[in-house]
Amino acid sequence: MPNMSDKVTNLTEATFDEVVSGSAEPVIVDFWAEWCGPCRMVAPILDEIAEEQDGNVKVTKLNVDEVPAIAQRYGVMSIPTMLIFRDGEVDKRIVGAKGKAQLVEELGL
């Protein structure tokens, strides 16, 4: 995805478990796809959050077209869906595009 912040990590099937369970800080996983309009609206907001919250939270993206097995594992039916992992477990699920203020509030940042 173009213009992605260097603070945002792209996850693959090979890196997902290691990144999510190996992180000391909460991990936001943005489940998205190239064809998803609302996903493109959320992307720059997540980039900003990644920059502003660097060291407090890890922002990651997972393309559901490239890694459908992980989306299925967590029951992701619609995108964008953001799952917040704490200590390797899903702590919160946010479905749909949100504005920055609402997203920050729902993420508890």
Catalytic residue of the set 8, 28, 29, 39: 39
88 flagged as catalytic: no
Q: At 64, is the secondary structure helix, strand, or coil?
A: coil
Report d(CA 2, CA 14) in Å as an integer.
22
Alpha-carbon dihedral sign for residues 96, 3, 54, 10: positive
Catalytic residue of the set 8, 27, 36, 70: 36
3 flagged as catalytic: no
Six-digit token pair at 71?
A: 């989306």
End-to-end distance of the chain based on CA atoms, in angstroms? Answer: 25
Report the catalytic residues. 36, 39
